[in-house]
A and B are shown apart, each in its own frame.
Chain A
Amino acid sequence: MSDISEESVRHLAGLARIALTDAEVTALTAELSQIVDVVAQVTSAVDADTPATSHPIPLTNVYREDVVTDDVLTPEQALASAPEHDGSRFKVSAILGEEQ
């Protein structure tokens, strides 16, 4: 069994800014535990020396040249989907907290 507790579900919900009711916390605790248990079965198939897979296709060093291309947006395009803007910048509600 995984060690997903109600406490960790509440913690995750807080980090993800998702408001959960007590009933939802109980339900999600059970569901997440199941999911983690299923995923954890993978560990029985590998030993400690097997490197973690970060991508299904064994590719490395996929790069792009350092050149500006024509997919640069105009400010109008960039702001097109903004709920609010001041004509050149996105407008967001004041958020109490600090820059990361």
Chain B
Amino acid sequence: MSKAKLMDYDKALELFEPVLGFEVHVELSTQTKMFSSAPNNFGAEPNTNITPVCLGLPGSLPVVNEQAVRYSISLGLALDCDIAPSSSFARKNYFYPDLAKNYQISQFDEPIAVNGTVEVELPNGRVFHVDIERAHMEEDAGKLTHVGGSTGRIQGAEYSLVDYNRAGVPLVEIVTRMIEGAEHDAPELAKAYVATIRDIVLALGISDAKMERGNLRCDANVSLRPRGSNKLGTRTETKNVNSLRSIERAVRYEIQRQAQILADGGTIVQETRHWHEDTGATSAGRPKSDADDYRYFPEPDLLPVVPSPELIAELKAALPEKPVERRRRLKAEWGFTDLEFQDIDNSGLLTEVAATVAAGASPQAARKWWTGEVARLANAAEVDATSLVTPEQVAELAGLVDEGTLTDRLARQVLESVIAGEGSPKEVVDKQGLAVVSDDGALIEAIDKALSAQPDVLEKIREGKVQAAGAVIGAVMQAMQGKADAARVRELILERASAQ
């Protein structure tokens, strides 16, 4: 894969206006699949969550999962969509072994939800309204592993192995209308939009929304329009973007790549492109062609979904607070500066921070732990921060620091043990005897010992060189294996100096 030439981002924006569009797929966290009673759970052994329906075996018939319909309506309502009085399923026909039936059951001309809008707030405070064209129900496809070849990718593979566990998992696909006017903020808007969808489905409790597991997937459409022109450019659709950070990077990359091609007099090929996290680049996939002729037709095995006004009213009444309103409320309640709140935004851990505050931690402590040490450890281990600790554990840890049982340094040590599975913070403190020594007697004993090794320190302090205390504090901390409160040790040393 040769590296594409990229135009400087600011220059690209000078010459072109980026136009965006997103298709976000949300896997619903129902107990069973969309059209069959097979379990819907991640990480099971291959081909163990399978019924005859999942394999399209002759004679098997799909039946709609009522919970999936309720979840889809809730999501449609949360996106401010109109819920269709009657919606129906359709077959999308294509040949690819990720679905055994040779078609995917989706919705075509009668989606469950249409004409919505989502308010998205960017980290810089700019508020954007993203219009939703439709949200429709469909089934996910199975997972292919390409074997052979050097890269594990499809090109050069000798054969592929198929696991149908994911085939039939309920999905809602959310399609935006064309988004204009994002300008320089286009990459940030892309990230903030997907983060907002994630917040919505988490608040509704209808999806695990873990991007690294594919619960939430985003295809980003990007095209460029030359300044002063009304004509839309040719768009590309970037797939395989599975983190919030990647979405921002992928959109920025496509803007720079397309700008360079257009500036060089080239043309953009309408195609699917694949994002590569490792190289930070997209590569060409399938060109849009015959393969997109899916010959949709009404699914004869399923009946229309006609939600009653009572059901819609019931689900509407149960909607959670909107993400933008929640952000504003929490920011005000917590008294955070823009910068502090941006920290949380960038980490994508608002839900966790809020849960930690709800569990008793101060907002500042909750923010500090999640965006600081927990995020750092998660980065180092290349895992999701939420998979390391629970908000309750973080709140307990923060509480131990607040009451003086732990210093920050000890608390970080405790955190690592908690992550290693050694128990709750309190259990770790008890087990490892990590609590701060708050007994002044023990501290004074250690101070005396340190002073006898450095007898001139007290004199220096009395002469005004207070920083001389540092050496003694260091010696005391070392002697007590870090289990002393440095501020208290300093106080005691200064008391000793002024007493003589």
Contacts and interface: CB of A to CB of B under 8 A. Distances in A.
A91 B159 contact: yes
Nearest to A87: B46
Q: Is the interface of B mostly helix, strand, loop or mixed?
A: loop
A35 interface: no
B162 interface: yes
Contact of B304 (A54, A67, A88): A54
B96 A97 contact: yes
Contact of B68 (A11, A61, A66, A72): A66
Contacts of B64: 62-64
Interface residues of A, number: 40
A11 B286 contact: no
A61 B141 CA distance: 24
Nearest to B308: A61
Interface string A83-96: 00010111111111
Interface string B289-310: 0110101001010111111000
Contacts of B304: 54-55, 60-61
Nearest to A59: B303
Nearest to B161: A89
A19 to B, nearest CB: 14
A63 B69 contact: yes
Interface stretch (A21-29, A38-46, A73-81): A73-81
B32 A17 contact: no
B63 A88 contact: no
B158 interface: yes
A61 B161 CA distance: 36
A100 interface: yes
Interface string B78-111: 0000000010100001111110000010000000
Contact of B37 (A61, A62, A67, A95): A67
Interface in B270-299: 272, 274, 285-286, 290-291, 293, 295, 298
B463 interface: no
Contact of A67 (B31, B46, B98): B31
Contact of B45 (A15, A75, A96, A98): A75
Interface in A45-63: 52, 54-55, 59-63
Contact of B38 (A68, A74, A86, A91): A68
A3 interface: no
Contact of A75 (B46, B68, B148, B285): B46
Interface residues on B, range: 35 or more
A7 interface: no
Given A62-B64, A63-B69, A66-B65, A72 B39 contact: yes
A67 B32 contact: yes
Contacts of B285: 98
A60 B306 CA distance: 6
A15 to B, nearest CB: 6
Contacts of A11: 290, 293
Contacts of A64: 37, 63-66
Nearest to A60: B306
A33 B170 CA distance: 38
Nearest to A52: B298
Contact of B31 (A66, A88, A95): A66
Contacts of A75: 45-48, 50
Interface in B153-170: 154-155, 157-164
Contacts of B144: 99
A15 B290 contact: yes
A100 B67 CA distance: 26
B88 A97 contact: no
Interface in B51-67: 51-52, 55, 57, 63-67
Given A64-B66, A67-B37, A72-B38, A88 B45 contact: yes
Contact of B49 (A14, A54, A62, A72): A72
Contacts of A71: 37, 51-52
Contact of B141 (A88, A97, A100): A100
Nearest to A71: B51
Nearest to A74: B48
Interface string B375-402: 0000000000000000000000000000
Contacts of A94: 146, 148, 154, 157-160
Contacts of A90: 47, 97, 161-162, 164
B66 A63 contact: yes
A68 B148 contact: no
A89 B46 CA distance: 6
Nearest to B162: A90
Given A54-B298, A99-B98, 19 more contacts: A15-B93, A55-B303, A61-B306, A64-B63, A64-B66, A69-B37, A72-B48, A74-B48, A75-B47, A75-B50, A81-B57, A89-B47, A89-B163, A92-B97, A94-B157, A94-B159, A95-B160, A98-B272, A99-B239
The 8 A-B residue pairs with the shortest CB-CB distance in the complex, in nearest-first order: A66-B67, A63-B66, A89-B161, A69-B37, A94-B157, A90-B162, A98-B286, A60-B306
Interface of B: 30-32, 37-39, 45-52, 55, 57, 63-69, 86, 88, 93-98, 104, 141, 144-146, 148, 154-155, 157-164, 239, 272, 274, 285-286, 290-291, 293, 295, 298, 300, 302-307
20 contacts: A17-B95, A52-B298, A55-B304, A61-B303, A66-B32, A66-B65, A67-B37, A71-B52, A72-B37, A74-B48, A75-B48, A89-B145, A90-B164, A94-B148, A94-B160, A98-B154, A98-B285, A99-B239, A100-B104, A100-B141
